[in-house]
A and B are shown apart, each in its own frame.
Chain A
Amino acid sequence: MIPELGHVALIIALQLAMLQGVLGLAGATRGNTVWIAMARGAAGGQLLFIVAGFLALIWSFMVNDFSVMNVADHSSRHLPVQYRITAAWGSHEGSFLLWALLMSSWTVSVVLVGRKLPADLQARVIGILGLLSFFFLAYILFTSNPFMRLHPPPANGSDLNPLLQDPGMIIHPPLLYMGYVGFSVAFAFAIAALISGKLDEAWARWVRPWTLMAWVFLTLGIMVGSWWAYYELGWGGWWFWDPSENASLMPWLAGTALVHSLAVTEQRGALRVWTVFLSLTAFALSLVGTFLVRSGVLSSVHAFALDPLRGLFILVFLCILIGTSLILFAKRAGAVKTAGDFGTVSRESALLAGNVLLLAALATVLLGTLYPLILDALGLGKISVGPPYFNAVFVPMMAPVLVLLGIAPWMRWGRESLPELLRRLRWQAGAAVLIGSVLPFAVAEWKWQAALGLVLAAWMILSTLSGLIARRRATGTLPLAAYGMGCAHVGLAVGVIGMGLVSAYQSEKTVAMQVDDSTRLGRYEFVFRGAEEVPAANYSAMRGVVLLKQEGKLVTTLAPEKRIYRSSQMTMTESAIRYGFFGDVYVAMGEPLEEGSWSMQFYLKPFVGWLWGGALLMALGGLLAALSGRNKGVNE
């Protein structure tokens, strides 16, 4: 009964999305306030019915209703209740329903928060979001229906993928999707601007907080995903250049470019067409990312869904969406009046240069991600493009961005004198080079990765902070957005320190250990005290006990596990990590050997936590900037 009602709710939501799209766009064009009002009502109703559908699905998981195929395929009686709830979005069907739910929530927030928007702009935005939502609901109902029934139902379900039975995986997809879906608001605003030909500073002021919030969510989503991979996959890596990771990195790069370009448009009215282009790109790449991960064209740790028909549906939609937006862009971009002249050396040009570099870096990621797929599709063989390519191409492309990041805030809008700029920044540059090249000696031996990371990070931190101080001295006050910028840029620097130091100084060791054997790695001694069986509801685990000692003194006891999940018979490695400010100690169990001995893996990961700490600071910075944008909107 409940699943059937959930199904009906989604069918009604589909129709409301269509009405919202058609009435919103037509109402704006014809200036018909009745239709616009109905479109707004449809948006509210749509959210209510998608929530009802989502709750019906969660309920089906909670009560183990295996007559719902989605429940039978992704849950089981042994599954702990918190994972029964999250399994609702762990499946392909459920994750798209989550997407639809989030998109509908963003739409309703545009309806509620955007009351002060010009009526026709708001109606167009609502209409475009309605059409996007219609696509997703149609996709769900016709190819990925979470309410398909089984009769008679199986006695038990086939359980949730053990990789997803983890707290990190509970919040990673919703955060990521909040980001992806959030870019749809910027996209809708951009299309609305192209249709009406009206794009000014006020427009940018409206779009910026939405885009910043989407960027914040995407940053957090990527951060949690990376952290999850670090502790869950059992070998301490934090970024793999896996296509499904690239899928989230690409919209992030485009979104990063977009928030900076929006700042220029908002402050100076310049770069309008470029801003529109980036708005279209960021959302299109979010869809490409979803297509890559969810269509099954990849076979990697994230690609749990395999169904060519579904892939085709998204591909066709992508072509229509990107094609229409590009045609609209080509035809109407001329109508968007450009303004805001700026010189070759100016803050605008520095931000534009950073933007172009970000997009160039994005292009290398896109190439490295799609090239193997294209070769494969053309039957030219299977190749894999991995870290060697990305490290050689992406990293050099990003280094100048980090240099520019320190310079741009020091530059004046409009025109800047280069010798004057160099004079102002000479101390920061000198100090950064000095700190960066000397500090590695203090940590351990001198390595170029560490030195490069530290020089860049020191440069970013020194120039950003001194820039903010200078600005505060000059004007007597600092807007919230400036704090946000400072926080995000320092966050990036912190992340770069983490990346540089962990890639330069990490060490690892794999040893076969008997009970009471010990081994050394770095300053630590590890004593293996054997492994014992620990049963749980839906898996049984061998839990190793490892004493971590430093200079003969016990630091802590680590308990890595090797789990076998009952229903799927999948083996999982649960690493044990001692988190620390200056680095992590990471232990994972390998394979059991004879006579109770085990192959054990030990890793030292210096400063690895700074990676995620930096990402957190970046997200906080984005949040501050978004709040500042909102305040401005309210004041005017």
Chain B
Amino acid sequence: MNLWIGVGAFVIVALVFLLLPLWRQKSALAGRHNEIRWPAVGVLGALPALTVGLYIYLGAPDIIKEQALTQAQANYDVDGMVKALEDKLKVTPNDAEGWYALGRAYIAFERFADAEEVLRKATVEAPKDAKLIAQYAEAIALKQGSLDGRPLELLMEALEISYEETKALELAGLAAFQKEKWAEALHYWRRLLKLLPKETEHHEAIAQAVVTAERKLDLSLGGTGMKAPTPPDEPKKTPH
């Protein structure tokens, strides 16, 4: 619906409220046309003009158009960027970072099979990049709906390369949590928590998860009152 149609309808309703009493008194005012004429004409002229004038001065009549435009632009840009990236990678197929970016874009669009394919290419180009491997693991997990099997192997591989890979720590923790290995999950997530910048939503979410895991661990150790055992130390084989 056009905004101005709505404005027009509102003005008409307002005029009905004002002029209906005049209409009702018409017979009583038979000989006194002047009394009716000028207030009626005044109101008919002034109310629509003032309404439009004040609204243009106070309101934001253009915002509806602007909102629609921004929305369209946003959609157009993302599609365009993905297309441009695909074209670019046809020319430079050994650009691991490029494949990685495209894979993340596919994940955002929930095209998991495509994401798996391009991230596999990324890991082929840069086999020792923990970030790419962890992302590849996530794509497979999203496609198959579970972290078990290949994703978990890849995550361990990524952590072998770098024990500070945040995505790998998060997913490894999640995998452990799903298997109800609370202490192990806590180990990965506490480690992750130290790496994440504070006061971010990500940090907060992980902190929440740590609390949940702590409570689960506490319960599994036989109810309240007992202190949670300190989690296992970091593996000695940490390469750093």
Contacts and interface: CB of A to CB of B under 8 A. Distances in A.
Asked whether A and B interact, the reply is yes
Interface of A: 1, 4-5, 7-9, 11-12, 14-16, 19, 23, 32-35, 37-38, 40-42, 44-45, 48-49, 52, 67, 141-142, 145, 147, 149, 151-152, 515, 530, 533, 535, 540
14 contacts: A4-B61, A9-B10, A12-B10, A34-B35, A37-B24, A40-B21, A41-B20, A41-B21, A42-B18, A141-B54, A149-B60, A151-B63, A151-B70, A540-B208
Contacts of B47: 12, 15
**What 9 pairs across the A-B complex have the smallest Cβ distances?**
A45-B17, A37-B21, A149-B60, A41-B21, A41-B17, A11-B54, A7-B59, A12-B14, A149-B63
Contacts of B46: 15
Contacts of B24: 37
B51 interface: yes
B17 A8 contact: no
Interface in B1-52: 1, 3, 6-7, 10-11, 13-14, 16-22, 24-25, 28-29, 32, 35-36, 39, 43, 46-47, 50-51
A153 to B, nearest CB: 8
B233 interface: no
Nearest to B21: A37
Contacts of B51: 8, 11-12, 15
Contacts of B43: 19, 38
Contacts of A45: 13-14, 16-18
Contact of A67 (B1, B13, B58, B63): B63
B66 interface: yes
Contacts of B70: 151-152
Contacts of A530: 224
Contacts, number: 110
Nearest to B59: A7
Interface of A is mostly: helix
User: Which of B20, B21, B208, B215 has the most CB atoms of chain A within a 10 A radius of its CB?
Assistant: B21
B230 interface: no
Contacts of B84: none
Contact of B208 (A12, A48, A52, A535): A535
B232 to A, nearest CB: 24
Q: Is the interface of B mostly helix, strand, loop or mixed?
A: helix
A411 B36 CA distance: 56
Chain B interface size range? 35 or more
A388 B137 CA distance: 69
A15 B161 CA distance: 72
Nearest to A40: B21
A575 B224 CA distance: 25
Contacts of A23: 39
Contact of B6 (A5, A15, A35, A515): A5
Contacts of B64: 1, 4
A476 B18 CA distance: 52
B46 to A, nearest CB: 8
Interface string B192-231: 0000000000000000100100010000000011000000
Nearest to A44: B17
B42 to A, nearest CB: 10
A13 to B, nearest CB: 9
A23 to B, nearest CB: 8
Given A38-B22, A42-B17, 11 more contacts: A1-B64, A4-B3, A4-B60, A5-B3, A14-B54, A15-B51, A16-B17, A40-B21, A45-B14, A141-B54, A145-B58
Contacts of B32: 34
A11 B63 contact: no
A151 B65 CA distance: 11
B238 interface: no
A286 B67 CA distance: 41
Given A7-B55, A8-B51, A38 B21 contact: yes
A42 B16 CA distance: 10
Contacts of B55: 7-8, 11
Contacts of A12: 10-11, 14, 47, 51
B17 A35 contact: no
Contact of A48 (B3, B13, B50): B13
B197 to A, nearest CB: 17
Contacts of B10: 5, 8-9, 12, 49, 52
A34 B36 contact: yes
Contacts of B63: 4, 67, 149, 151
A149 B24 CA distance: 41
B68 to A, nearest CB: 11
A41 B3 contact: no
A35 B22 CA distance: 9
Contacts of B50: 11, 15
Contact of A151 (B1, B7, B66, B224): B66
A151 B3 contact: no
Nearest to A535: B208
Nearest to A35: B39
A8 B1 contact: no
A19 B50 CA distance: 13
Contact of B67 (A34, A40, A67): A67
A37 B28 CA distance: 13
Instruction: Find the residue from A11, A48, A142 having the highest chain B CB count within 10 A.
Output: A11
A376 to B, nearest CB: 34
Contacts of B39: 23, 34-35, 38
Contacts of B25: 33-34, 37
Q: Which of A19, A48, A147, A152 has the most CB of B within 10 A?
A: A19
A23 B43 CA distance: 12
Interface in B78-135: none
B105 to A, nearest CB: 20
B211 A533 contact: yes
Q: Which of B17, B51, B54, B58 has the most CB of A within 10 A?
A: B17
